[in-house]
Amino acid sequence: MKTTKSSYNRRSFLKASLLSGGGMMLSVSWLSSFAASDKMQALNLPEQWAQLNGYIQITPDNVIRLMCPNPEFGQNVMTSLPMIVAEELDIDWKNVVVEMAPHDNTKFGGQFTGGSQSVRAYWKPLRTAGASARQMLREAAAKSWNVPVDEVSTKAGVLYHEKSGKSAKYGELASKAAEIPVPKDIKLKSPKDFTIVRSGRKNVEGLKVVTGKPLFGLDYRQPGTLIAMIQHPPAFGLKLKSFDATQTLKMPGITDVFAIDVFEQGSERGAFETRTFNELVVVVGKTTWEVMNARKKLKVQWEQAPERKEATNAFGRKGEEITPAGLESTTAQLARMQEWAKKPATQLRKDGDPETAFRNAAQVIERTYNAPFLAHNCMEPMNFFAHVTDEKAFVAGPIQAPSLTEQTLSKRLGLPADKIDIQMTRMGGGFGRRAYHHYVVEAALISKKVKAPIKLIYTREDDMTYGIYRPMYTATYRAALDANKNLIAFHVKGGGIPEHPVHANRFPAGAVDNYLAEGWEIPSNITIGAFRAPRSNFNAAAEQSFLDEVAEAMGKDPIEFRLELLKRAKENPVGKNNEYDPDRYAGVLTLVRDKSGWSKAGVATSGNEKYNRGVAAYFCHNSYAAHVVDMVTRDGQPYVERVFSAMDCGIVVNPESAKNMVQGAVVDGIGNAFYGALTHKDGAAEQSNFHNYRIIRHNEAPKQIEVYFVENDIDPTGLGEPPFPPVFGAVANALYKNQGKRFYNQPFQPELEKRISG
């Protein structure tokens, strides 16, 4: 058993109320009770956000209602988080009802979904919540039966006293349990005793999803709701000059047309606030179709926006950001990146004497990798409902960061936080896009202006051309070999628009005596934001492709080469700030090697099929992932036919949903590696919908994805993002075997088509 100290008094821990039919309701509030490593440090969130308020309701008929505090966008936290509580509470999962909690900054803390932190951050607090409730129920039973509490056991929501033969369902003693003081020493289960955690559980909302029940933001309606759409500038670097809505107002169903400033000019910009297009034209009407058609009748004049200087305040870190003027084009951006790559950069880490090692090297391998902007393309278009009056605001829809949104709404609307009610709906995809809450502010301002409830809806074109993209990246890698083909130095110099991708303290840092990491950034008015595994999704692609080339030059098997480096990092590490655990990193490589039947030839067969194989592995968001990709050629076109994946994310709460999450990441990564690209000409996005923004199709997805997890008792780490980055590198390495040529520019398909047709 693991014991967690609880130093909370009754009032800070428990707000208990008798339900109408008797029963118990627990509101568990933890603040700064766990180590900083358990907090959402991946996103540098403030310490006070390491707070969880989880609700447990037990009714007399023994139905247990568990509230999920975090927004759900497909990663299945509405199942996995309640499973953690249920495990320690020791209940029958069949009797559990799960509900999405409303936003409540006091009861539920930050309620942020992102950074692969949901399970990791809530693991200990939720276990403690369940264990505390179970202990209070045991004490209530002991008092009722006049027996020692140590003789009271539980199983599947029932209390037992074996000596007397007495038993009672939790619901029968829930009211008495609500009167029990909170236990100070709470015993947590040993992982070997888990019966719910580590067992596959179906998505608690699965039936509702597949039968079309109203769960998503687009489903949300209230009587009298109007539809609103915005018109933003057609290019980055432009702003509103004037508009004529005469013809628009004549269209059927249209009630109003006006302009808004999303944020007040000169106001400080907070975390996850984006001001891509601050001045917007709004069309409001009765139906979506009417508003879409009427918007086409708008006559709008745009003008070039000047350079913009903004004060910023992200989680208390104040600064200033300058957004340049101008209309940017991809061709010019690429040329500029090439120029910047030749200039001195910011040193991020240096071990040994890499300059001398490169000068004295017998062989230097140097390669440059490039990747474009990517759009998030959430399946559910951006939307939000708002009903705002002078006294209060009610908003509802899909969002990843409700607490940050509340802060922004409070400032912009001039309302105290307790007058703002945020209801979170299920999200049809997030991937970082819905953490940027400008669209919620837009909806609120529109509702306040028209004095009516409104539903703001983006078309696919609106969203794809609005910005908040995955940045545009480049990186040059160099490796120095001595006369015996030993790796003696490693250098990465990465840059991007407008951020660089380099994680300086990750593998192979710590495994090479002479190591140098550098970064540079080019400011831009094209706005970027978190995209599944930020920075890592490019860094892993480039790094893992390059390591394969180095292994080939050294005459080594790519997996064995990586394992040798990891052995060095474990036994004789270089530097003190290495982020990764060499043993866990090596563990996923070994597992995927064994499960895939890897051979040094890089070729596998199955029946009459010949597979060209590629491998990659990466550490990010506290977890480790490795993939072996098997590629085949059909009609001259390469396809990823099957994938073997290995993950180490600590204890896997729900293996069924975890497997699905990895499979989804694999398909997403393959699609982006081959096809994903968003380009610009004179500031305008050249892709606006799926007719010209290519994504993976059903027939291009792997027919087989086998997922394996390293079994250990490490507390859970991230899973939503870690499997995504190494997919790109594994695809690139398989493609090299398939085509006999290395591909350095994402997406691979344009160059591949030229090669096939030429």
pLDDT tens digits, one per residue of 620-669? 999 999 999 999 999 889 999 999 999 999 999 999 999 999 999 999 99
Tell me the pLDDT band of 184, cut-offs 50, 70 and 90.
confident
Query: pLDDT by residue (tens digit) across 707-725?
Result: 999 999 999 998 999 999 9
What are the beta bridge partners of residue 25?
A: 57
Query: pLDDT by residue (tens digit) across 390-416?
Result: 999 999 999 999 999 999 999 999 999
Are 226 and 118 found together in one domain?
no
Query: pLDDT by residue (tens digit) across 20-35?
Result: 334 444 444 332 333 3
Question: Percentage of residues in the chain with pLDDT exceeding 90?
Answer: 78
Give the number of residues written for the chain.
758
Are 409 and 436 found together in one domain?
yes
- Domain assignment present for 36: yes
Residue 64 is predicted with a pLDDT of 84
Are 679 and 715 found together in one domain?
yes
Residue 18 is predicted with a pLDDT of 34
- Domain assignment present for 528: no
- Domain assignment present for 546: no
325: which DSSP letter?
P
Helix axes 77-89, 118-145, angle to 10 degrees: 30
- Domain assignment present for 498: no
Closest CA to 41 of 752, 579, 661, 642: 579
Quick check: helix, strand or coil at residue 652?
coil
Which of these three, 394, 422, 457, is where a domain ends?
Answer: 457
- Domain assignment present for 345: no
Q: Mean of the pLDDT values across residues 43-68?
A: 57
Q: For residue 627, is it left (φ>0), alpha (ψ between -120 and 50) or beta?
A: beta
What CATH number corresponds to the domain at position 195?
3.30.365.10
- Domain assignment present for 372: no
Q: Report yes or no: 58 and 43 within 8 Å, Cβ to Cβ.
A: no
Residue 670 is predicted with a pLDDT of 98
Are 431 and 565 found together in one domain?
no
Region of poorest pLDDT, from 70-74, 152-156, 501-505, 748-752: 70-74
Q: Rounded distance, CA 215 to CA 633, Å?
A: 41
pLDDT at 111 over 90: no
Query: pLDDT by residue (tens digit) across 339-385?
Result: 999 999 999 999 999 999 999 999 999 999 999 999 999 999 999 99
Which of these three, 413, 428, 457, is where a domain ends?
Answer: 457
Residue 422 is predicted with a pLDDT of 94
Closest CA to 649 of 709, 594, 726, 595: 709
- Domain assignment present for 496: no
Average model confidence (pLDDT) across the chain: 90
Are 600 and 662 found together in one domain?
yes
pLDDT at 438 over 50: yes
Query: pLDDT by residue (tens digit) across 297-316?
Result: 999 999 999 999 999 998 88
Which of these three, 150, 170, 204, is where a domain ends?
Answer: 204
Are 169 and 104 found together in one domain?
yes
Tell me the pLDDT band of 106, cut-offs 50, 70 and 90.
confident
Residue 45 is predicted with a pLDDT of 31
pLDDT at 428 over 60: yes
pLDDT at 446 over 50: yes
pLDDT at 234 over 50: yes
Are 268 and 183 found together in one domain?
no
Residue 55 is predicted with a pLDDT of 63
Residue 722 is predicted with a pLDDT of 97
- Domain assignment present for 488: no
Which domain range does residue 46 map to?
2-204
Are 192 and 233 found together in one domain?
no
Encode 363-395: b = buried (16+ Cβ within 10 Å), e = exposed. eebebbbbbbbbbbbbebbbbbbbbbeeeebbb
Are 92 and 28 found together in one domain?
yes
Tell me the pLDDT band of 50, cut-offs 50, 70 and 90.
very low
Query: pLDDT by residue (tens digit) across 273-300?
Result: 999 999 999 999 999 999 999 999 999 9
Q: Report yes or no: 128 and 100 within 8 Å, Cβ to Cβ.
A: no
DSSP states of 68-129 as a string? E-S--SSS-HHHHHHHHHHHHHT--GGGEEEEEPPP-HHHHTT----TT-HHHHHHHHHHHH
pLDDT at 37 over 80: no
Q: Mean of the pLDDT values across residues 222-243?
A: 98
pLDDT at 46 over 90: no
Residue 6 is predicted with a pLDDT of 42
* CA 161 to each of CA 7, 58, 139, 143, 155: distance values in angstroms, whole numbers, following the listed order: 29, 21, 12, 12, 11
Residue 756 is predicted with a pLDDT of 82
Residue 32 is predicted with a pLDDT of 30
Are 278 and 411 found together in one domain?
yes
Q: Tell me, what amino acid is at 523?
A: P
Give the number of domains in the chain: 3
Are 102 and 153 found together in one domain?
yes
Q: Mean of the pLDDT values across residues 504-517?
A: 98
Tell me the pLDDT band of 109, cut-offs 50, 70 and 90.
low
User: For residue 39, which phi and psi values (nearest 5 degrees)?
Assistant: -90, 175
User: For residue 520, which phi and psi values (nearest 5 degrees)?
Assistant: -150, 155
Are 133 and 268 found together in one domain?
no
Q: Rounded distance, CA 324 to CA 727, Å?
A: 34
Residue 14 is predicted with a pLDDT of 34
